Structure 1
Amino acid sequence: MYTYAPYELADEQLSEYAGRYESNEWLNTVIAKRDGQLYLEVDGLVYPLLPVAKDSFIFRRRDSIVWIDFFRDREGEVARMSYALRQLTKASVNNGSSEQQ
């Protein structure tokens, strides 16, 4: 079981993670931002993400807590994420956002 303390991210920080992420294997996902919250959309299911550290989030899938990490490039932009033992590259920027501007 993971231990974590509540971690706050500003709304504009959440936008950095939104987008479509793809692997060279079967796994593709979208991180969407709606109403000040991030969501992982994968395999037709949607999971709310809870920030636990800068660039780290958890979500509950059935009886499990799943940890995902985001990684930044040299310019400090979110470039990829780690999920389900896979590295997914950010394929589009903010296209995963379902929030109306």
Structure 2
Amino acid sequence: MDFPAIVTAIFGAFVVFGGVMGYVKAKSKASLIAGGITGGLLLLSAFLMARGITAGAILGIVVSLLLIGQFGPSLAKKFKVMPNLLVVILGLITLGTLVFSFFR
């Protein structure tokens, strides 16, 4: 498996875990659903990239941008390490890795 797929899979697993933790700690069904969907899409993206399908990288870029767009403004308003800062940092790392590999 290549590096971009591994980075995307790690980010996807973190997002799924974050959604579950949001549900456990705050009983937030929205966190569970959103984390499950976006994390699942990132894991699907990693799977597709591992199979050599270019659509996987595009899907990973789109989902990473959506997560950065969701958590970035929250981070700017109120600095919270979990989940805002961690999602933004991992999203930027994933996005950079995917864009670099996509145009390579």
TM-score, length basis structure 2: 0.28
Structure number with larger C-alpha Rg: 2
Between structures 1 and 2, the one with greater helix share: 2
Structure with higher RCO (Cα < 8 A, 6+ apart) = 1
TM-score, length basis structure 1: 0.29
Between structures 1 and 2, the one with greater strand share: 1
